[in-house]
Amino acid sequence: MSTADDSVSTEYVDIAPLKSIVERNQVWPRMAAKYGVENPAPPWKTSLDGMCDALDHAGCAMSTPNFKERRDEEDSLSATVYSGLPYPENQLVALAHSLVVRGIIDESELQERLVGIRARLEA
């Protein structure tokens, strides 16, 4: 089980696919303006909310963060490592960061999923 100290240590882990997201600066307000979308919320926000709810209610043996741990890590990472991203992008990237650090998803799997998503978007 993780402790409150885990949220601090997660800030110092460099995760290449997430660093690339920050560097590309493809945040929803820019992308929505580019493609003429008027909805202020990104289409993936409901999936993110559902994932957070599922994690909050997960009772698995894996190192899944509980609600407080997840929110503390999200707040910490959003204020430091991902402070250049607006909400909800910083929430999404902070969650992915936390899941990679905890070993729930590995960095190469995250990269593969991001490549698949980009391919669908650009098709």
84: three-class secondary structure by DSSP: coil
pLDDT of residue 62: 63
Name the percent of the chain lying above pLDDT 70.
Answer: 88
Number of domains in the chain: 1
pLDDT tens for 63-74 read 788 888 889 999
* Residue 50: predicted pLDDT: 93
Mean pLDDT to the nearest integer, 97-121: 90
Domain, as residue range, for 29 = 4-122
Structure tokens at 60: 């698995």
Q: Does the pLDDT value for residue 49 go beyond 50?
A: yes
Q: How far apart are CA 50 and CA 36, in angstroms?
A: 26
Q: pTM of the full predicted structure?
A: 0.82
The CA distance from 90 to 22, in Å, is 9
